[in-house]
Structure 1
Amino acid sequence: MTLTKKNHEHKMNTSNFANKTIKLLVLVILFAGFASCSDDDDKPLLEVESQTYSNLYAPQSGGQGSGEDISGAFTKFSFSTGQTTTSETEWDIAFRGTSIIINGGTTLGTMDEPERIGNVSGYIVNNTFENVEMVNTNLLEQDSNEGYVFSDWYTYSGQPNHLITPTPGKVLVLKTYDGKYAKMEIVSYYKDAPDNPNAFNGTERYYTFNYVYQPNDGVTTF
């Protein structure tokens, strides 16, 4: 009887020790989880600022009554760096003449279009740049063989001036290649953004635009 009682007490002590160990581990895990959440909550958001990029050159060959197909490399731009790039993958938007493409979807089939490696998407909203404060993710689309997402950004004056003018109130909204968000408005299609541009003096195809890049993960506001 004494031996059985000792065995029973030993088993009870072992069980109690195991239970205490499990409870301690649970508390440690919960504390670590709370600490992690607290660290995430306390992590400051990166600042969002409006930027201006001036004179992005987007030349093309052919077109405009030349009898030749439009060709030439697109000038690529990354919102995360705020610079043009020659990268095949890390770009958001690209320009050639009046054509603006994104790094997502499929090509329209024109000459020298870069391959869409990324998953960029976008839409145009009719509003002022300042008043576009949130991304409507339901509107995001990609380039396709039916057309470019950002084809409707400008107005052509026709004869005699033949001017390309950004249509007022057209704001371009994007989900970028790195999964963030950006908005932009095109200010001018002519070098140094003159008040009275001339389409015949070689200053065309120089984009000036304002943009805001949201660098924080999962944030859809500007």
Structure 2
Amino acid sequence: MKKGFYLLLTFSLIIASCGSDDDSCAESLFFEDADGDGLGNSATSQLACSAPEGFVTNSDDNDDTQALANLISETTNNLPAPQEGGQGQPISGDFTLFDLDTGAITTNTDDWDIAFRATTIIINGGISQGTTDEPSRIGDAAAYIATGTMADITSADTSLFVQDAADALAIPSGSDNGWYNYSGSPLFLITPLPGKILVIKTTEGKYAKIEILSYYKDAPTSPDAFVNEGRYFTFNYVYQPNNNISTF
């Protein structure tokens, strides 16, 4: 009797131990990351308690044979932003369209991300404000202004993105409202506000950050509005060329 009792007790403990181990492991689905870019392939998955080597939790990779491309860091010099009128006169003139995905000015009125006319900056997303010569918004770009240095802004906060609207731009216009300060008399200077970084979601759904350095041609260290020609943007930008990656 005692021998049978102990055998039964031992068998029960083994069953209880196995059940306890099984309960402690909640399996999750992991996806193969063959190219090591941190993005998983939805076509190849595995259930496991923790990520097997070479597998990740997301399935966002469109091409698991191509690793992540490097960030692109560039400076754009003397981008023209002409304007006609102003100072009480009707404002007009074409915006200069810029495509962050190519890093160049474009004349394609459908495929652009951000555009400049004098101190006004618009994005290809939202609603036109209806000013003369303002391009139509047919893209899904968005933007916000972050506070900090370029080094401080290490990722795009997707919850902060807004688009242009009839009553407000994603990058606000006016002195001290967005990216610049206007000194007024007697200097009449346009000066980029320090610590204001433009964060952009492009029409292709990728991300960039922009630091405006100067509003004057050749970016003089100490600009003089009576000597240096204005309406020329110089800016640094960092562009994230990879899909579904919001870090810089």
Q: TM-score, normalised by structure 1?
A: 0.80
8 Å Cα contact 2:72/2:241 also seen in 1: no
* Percent identical residues: 53
- 1:103 maps to which residue? 124
Is 1:214 matched with 2:240? yes
What is the root-mean-square deviation in Å for CA atoms of aligned residues?
1.9
Report the CA distance shift for 1:145/1:194 in structure 2 as closer, same or farther (over 3 A): same
Pick one of 188, 192, 201 that aligns with 1:162. Answer: 188
Give CA-to-partner distance per residue, 1:183-217, whole Å, 9 cap, x none: 10100000111011121236100000000110100
- 1:34 paired residue among 44, 67, 91: 44
Indicate the SS of the match to 1:34.
Answer: strand
Separation (CA, whole Å) in 2 of partners of 1:44 and 1:143 = 34
Partner of 1:130 in structure 2? 151
Which letter does structure 2 place at the counterpart of 1:60?
Answer: Q
Give me the TM-score of the superposition, normalised by structure 2: 0.72
| Greater per-residue helix proportion | 1
Q: 1:58-108 CA deviation, whole Å, 9 max, x = no partner?
A: 000000x2x321110000000111100010111000000000000000112
| Corresponding position of 1:187 | 213
Match for 1:145 among 159, 166, 187?
A: 166
Moved more, 100-109 or 196-205: 196-205
Report if aligned partners of 2:197, 2:209 keep a CA contact under 8 Å in 1.
yes
Partner of 1:13: none
Q: State how many pairs are aligned.
A: 188
Residue 78 (structure 2) aligns with: 55
After TM superposition, give the deviation of residue 42 of structure 1 in Å.
5.4
Number of the residue aligned with 1:23: none
- 1:37-62: CA deviations, max 9, x gaps? 98955531001032100000000000
Counterpart code for 1:80: D
For 2:81, give the aligned amino acid.
Answer: A
- Structure 1 runs (4+) greater than 2 angstroms displaced: 32-35, 37-43
CA distance in 2, matches of 1:33, 1:126: 40
Q: Residue 157 of structure 1 aligns to which amino acid in structure 2?
A: S
User: What residue identity is the alignment partner of 2:243?
Assistant: D
Compare relative contact order (CA 8 Å, sep 6+) and give the higher one, 1 or 2.
Answer: 1
Where structure 1 has 5 or more consecutive residues not aligned to the other structure, the ranges are: 1-31
Which amino acid is 1:49 matched to? I
The one-letter amino acid paired with 2:71 is V
Deviations 1:100-140 (A, max 9, x none): 00000011221110000100001001111111001110000
Out of 61, 65, 73, the position equivalent to 2:94 is: 73
8 A contact 2:216–2:229 mirrored in 1: yes
- Counterpart residue identity of residue 208, structure 2: A
Q: Which is richer in strand? A: 2
1:174 aligns with 2:184: no
Unpaired runs of at least 5, structure 2: 1-41, 46-53, 56-60, 173-177
| Counterpart AA for 2:197 | V
